[in-house]
Amino acid sequence: MNSPKTNRTAHVYKWQIPIDVGVALRAKRISCREGLYIELRSEDRCGWGEISPLPGFSAESLEEAQDALLCWTKLWLSGEEELPKLPSAAFGISCALAELNGTLPMKADYRTVPLGGCETEKLVDKLAGAKGEKTAKVKVGFSGAANDGITVDTVLHAVSDVRLRLDANRSWTLSQALDFAQNIRPHYRERIAFIEEPCQSREESRIFARQTGIAIAWDESLRESDFTFDSSDIAKAVVIKPTLTGSLEKIKSQAEAARRLGMTAVISSSLESSLGLTQLARIAAWLTPNTIPGLDTLNLMRYQQIRPWPQSTLELVPAESLQRLI
């Protein structure tokens, strides 16, 4: 779609990527990832953005995000630039604008944190052969708190120099979370970098941290209206998921607020495509340069789109092969 008045051009694409094994999102399995891309052009400049709400986590549906994106695109072509309110749309559009304006740095952090689940063998083998800093992420909350504790203890025992990031997605009551910790030997707990939102409420998570000595991180809490950054907070880290958060300005604000309080800020994926992941790698290098981002999700996809992830052997699908809406 062209706008002669402002010398602007925009295209919106819709896509689907099959996922090799059904991924569980809050007890619901999905077999494909769906989303939208926006391509903005002005003069000889170009910017891309990905808009892909995550089912079960995003407040908005893909249909709502699409409506907001198409509406915004028409306004942008007439000269307006105010972002939509929906987080996924605001994030993708702000990335496209930042590329167009040259304000999203090109330097990227393509390091990844291997992602593991209840089966530990492959993760342990991968970590045992890794060089340099060893950090891995383990999803917990699926196989019973006690079993999850045994899994984590097994990994920490098998790989003596690994640090684990754990993600519970508010799966447990305080009692269940304490059962989890009970199965991790106390001298291993300091190698848990953090566990994201172990309990169903923030206060229970804080009690868990005090009683077990296991560091906690905020994830879902960052997106709640009553959340504030507080110097007295016991949490050691925040996990920022841009697709669920909103504009680059909001992401930058959260990362800077965490840094001022001495908290670790981690940029993490929401199952974006290769295009979105490469932009998250750039955002991580820009806003959290000393922290490995959580972007190890491309291996769940059947192929890449538009832009490749370095050293990935997955087929790359060009824009011309996608469904163009405008």
CA distance 166 to 139: 6
Q: Is 160 exposed, middle or buried (0-12, 13-18, 19+ CB in 10 A)?
A: exposed
Q: Count Cβ atoms below 10 Å from residue 187 Cβ, excluding itself.
A: 8
The alpha-carbon radius of gyration of the chain (Å, integer) is 20
Residues annotated in a binding site for Mg(2+): 167, 196, 219
> What are the backbone dihedrals phi and psi of residue 147, each rounded to the nearest 5 degrees, phi first?
-65, -40
Catalytic site includes residue 137: no
Catalytic residue among 137, 241, 250, 252: 241
From 139, 236, 250, 252, the catalytic residue: 139
Count of C-beta atoms within a 10 Å radius of residue 323: 10
Nearest CA to 93 out of 58, 45, 52, 49 is that of 49
Beta strands in 43-98 (DSSP E): 45-51
Q: Give the pair of three-digit tokens for residue 273.
A: 């495509």
**Positions at the binding site:** 167, 196, 219
139 is catalytic: yes
- What type of residue is 318? P
For 236-260, letters b (16+ CB in 10 Å) and e give bbbbbbbbbbbbbebbeebbeebee
Contacts of 302 (CB under 8 A, 6+ apart): 17, 18, 19, 20, 314
Closest CA to 297 of 137, 190, 144, 58: 137
Read off the tokens for 296: 């190890």
21 by Cβ neighbours in 10 Å (0-12 / 13-18 / 19+) ranks as exposed
For residue 8, give the 3-state DSSP assignment: strand
Q: Which residues are catalytic?
A: 139, 241
